[in-house]
Amino acid sequence: MLLNKEDCQLLLVDYQQKLMPVILEGKAILENASILARLASKLRVPVFGTEQLPDKLGPLDPQLAGFCKSVLVKSHFSACPEGLVDLLSARPQAGNARSLPRHLKKQEETARKNTVVIGGIESHVCVLQTALDLMDQEFDVWVVTDACSSRTEKNRDAAFDRLAANGAELVTTEMVVFEWLESAEHENFKFALELIK
């Protein structure tokens, strides 16, 4: 099964300024998250972020926050108890009074975007718990392994093992990029190549 950008949302978990310096391969992880956010924005894939206790851990990295439709502040390790499912399930509101009945009918026919592509830190805590909760809510979860990390390799790898065992798809940044594009003929192919070079 390949990713379909029309059914995707991108979730960026806790790339916070005070956490990043202690994260294994933090610079590369943040760069991959930035590639995903930039391409998602260009392709109109909705991007959401989370912040764990930002008063203590700082805000979401500004290079990512600018691409987010919304940033959810949380104290739970999983973002789901803080309202993430509602945020990801919301349908865009548009139209005016004259188009409202037609618009409502179209909304009813359109299911929520059911695939959540996740990058974040720490893999074994907030990413893991959020991903497992999303799967319990019947979302398809794709975890971008080279856009996720922890303070230690052991914790990161244990998280990936557990996520895979529970049904999450494990992918890399470039897998996501090329599956969203589908073809070298895509109008944003050159833009994407510049991002990953």
State pLDDT tens for residues 13-31. 999 999 999 999 999 999 9
pLDDT at position 96? 47
What is the residue-wise DSSP string for the chain? ----GGGEEEEEE--BTTTGGGSTTHHHHHHHHHHHHHHHHHHT--EEEEEESHHHH-PBPHHHHTT-SEEEEESSSSSGGGTHHHHHHPPPP---TTTHHHHHHHHHHSPP--EEEEEEE-IIIIIHHHHHHHHHTT-EEEEEEEEEE-SSHHHHHHHHHHHHHTTPEEE-HHHHHHHHH-STTSTTHHHHHHHH-
Is the pLDDT reported for residue 102 higher than 80? no
40-to-8, 22, 97, 153 alpha-carbon distances in Å: 9, 27, 31, 28
pTM, rounded to two decimals: 0.90
List the domains of the chain with CATH numbers.
Answer: 18-91+102-196 (3.40.50.850)
pLDDT in tens, 51-84: 999 999 999 999 999 999 999 999 999 999 999 9
Give 91's pLDDT tier (boundaries 50, 70, 90).
Answer: low
What tens digit of pLDDT does each residue of 168-190 get? 999 999 999 999 999 999 999 99
Least confident of 12-16, 90-94, 110-114, 119-123: 90-94
Asked if residue 94 has pLDDT above 90, the reply is: no
What does the alpha-carbon distance between residue 57 and residue 133 come to, in Å, rounded to a whole number? 23
